[in-house]
Structure 1
Amino acid sequence: MTLSPLDDYPVHQIAETIRHVGTSDRNFYDRYYFNCHAGVDGDNEPLFLIIGLGQYPNLGVCDGFAVLRRGDDHIVFRASRALGDDRMDLSVGPLRIEVLEGLHRLRVMLAPSPEAPDLSFDLVFESDGPANLETRQFQRQLERVTFDTQRFVQTGTWSGSLTVDGEVMPVTPDTWRGNRDRSWGVRPVGEAEPPGRKADPALTGSQNFFWIYSIMQFGDYTIVTVIQEDQQGRRMVEDATRVWSDRNRAPEWLGRPDHELTFVSGTREVAAGTLHFRRPGAPGEPDHTLSVTCEPVLPNYIGVGTGYGLEQDWRHGMWQGELVVQGQREKVSEIEPWKKMLCPVDNLARFTVTEDGVSRTGVGLFEVAVIGPHQRYGFTGVGDVAP
């Protein structure tokens, strides 16, 4: 048993040192996610940067990535190292995170490196409202807990600089926005496990993943939406919350979220979407209803090259060695279609919300995955695409 500097703080939850978590499940993880974007509504070309860093205590691994979508460019940095004793070491190779002020300001840095020369940055995220704790996600398969995760999300602005192909771009809070989240718990990570009974066609034939995760920023409030369904439309997870920028104002439950999606012909990429929220009114009063139209502007294929499971030689939590740093770059137009279909797509999007007959616009994240069969949209198998 080894101590670390964090053990000097009164934050223990179990009778172990901090570096030991409360479960021996190999799939326990603790992760940061950030996105940073500009150019949605202006004359400039939109840019969409996504950054992640995760620790996997029971696998002894820490890894991180950054992926930039700019025009037809898909630029990836990724790195992995052995997880040491100090869980407060939020670095992996040239990527580093600093918590400047908890739940408010964080610095994210990617130093230039010979392995990934196309991308570097030095950015500070500053929240524009409180962090919102989302609905806990819990799921079993064949009696084993496969998901037991908790996450909070927060919106804000960015400042600093972003360097792409040697060009340094100033990042200023008047035009650069985004959201970040922290999640932890149990979810599939690391090397693929033997499937065992899960390989039975009776089980694999019905496997699907339908997911909508949207963070919509409208100035003085943000709408957070989470929807996970099975192929028949039964909900595993749902959340619909309005988070006010005024930290003294309580979050507002918006009711049940429902979705209407249209897809680009020949794909499963979302062409447009509408989210509806309905909260029952008090006796004698009408229901409260709210609708948001979602217009994807720039998709970022977050699963390509970053470790979300498409490439079997690089997955989050997979052991790569004491330290490995890599860079990848490809044209979005040349990414294989099956990769675009089998991972969530983080769409930078415009939103229009209509409430009580009044409309206003916003920007943010519209993350969608429709993998495997889903009855409502006519997909009967993993290879089906929109007509």
Structure 2
Amino acid sequence: MIQSLLKGLLGTCLIAGAALVSSPARAVIGTVDVVPAATILVPYFEVDLNNNNGRQTSVQVTNTSASAMLLNVTLWTDLGIPTFRFNIYQTGYATTPIDLRMLFKGVVPITATDGQDPVDLISPQGPFSQDINFASCNSTLPYATPLPAATLTALRNAHTGQSSTTFGGSCGGVAYGDGIARGYITIDTVSACQSQLPGDVGYFLAGGGGTATNQNALTAQVTYMDRSQNQSSAEPAVHIEANGVDPLTNGAGDNTFYGRFVAFTGADNREPLFGMSQARYFNTSGLSTEMVVWRDPGAAVSPFACGASLPGPYPLGQREFVGFDEQEDFTIFSGSPAFPYAAQTKSVSSFFPSAGGHLFLNLVSSVGDPTISFRQQHYLSVRHRSGNSYSGQTAASQLVNASQPSNDNYIIASF
């Protein structure tokens, strides 16, 4: 008891001192940039389930504040259906790795709050870090590993487009047939260990008070690797700030990040992502560009019968996808939807054959919720490959956010 009291007093004093030194950076709401955030989006992941040296993804999430944080991590299929969730506890200034290759082997990140880990063997407390107890975590943290075999099989099947008990025997992802698990991840700051998903009642409440909090404290980086091909690339994850008073994030009709789950009331307080974006590309014998694209489905998506057509709103349509070569001549891609799913990668050369230039994406859904049909949010990053190795990965430039009025969102409509 004395040890716990001393820890608390020391933590309070040091945190108060640290607060006088600096405060987290903040950016303009509606601008996608790398600043401490309340939600982290990993826009795409892939894990080769049959080859330990094949494609894999890892995430490093950091608490930039001295205060302890509790996070809710949710895995989604590449069609935007949630499959699995778990909590992470972080003392102040902690960094926690999430190794997707290990997760798909059944190993969940192990953390514990002060109540489950009073001597700091699991989640260490540094000299400037707060370490507190979340009583709600007593029955869950630290997690027992590995996951039960049935749970692991269901998870692997769900992310490879196969029948999964997670969906009652239905499917929830695209079946590529290559044994690679695909999807995306969201990480939210929360107030308690719980079993809720972002779309569940009570996860977000208007005016605050839900499970999710507006603590803008998280940063994260994503690393993609394929040892069998000697490839790797990394980029910051997508940092989504929360704000309970900004007009873009607190009112009816706001096209917030989780808007589809809160009837576009702004109750989630999360800023919107890209409405239109621009990126550089290369298509030469020695240099090529691959796009990583995440799109908001616009509505909650349900599992479907395996082998049947994909559920609405898929495939996701496009408003404008334009490539400009280095002589400023442009090509409009008007074929089948370029990015039909919630999360995917595509090579630029499959759309624009010129040796290099820049592209503009203005992505919308032609079906689905009519309130966002011309304001759909997305995220794009590009990774350039030199020979067989990636030379870098960067986010596209945001031109407008997804709440920009639709009649301002055309690139070439006046040509």
TM-score using structure 2 length: 0.32
Greater percentage in helix: 2
TM-score using structure 1 length: 0.33
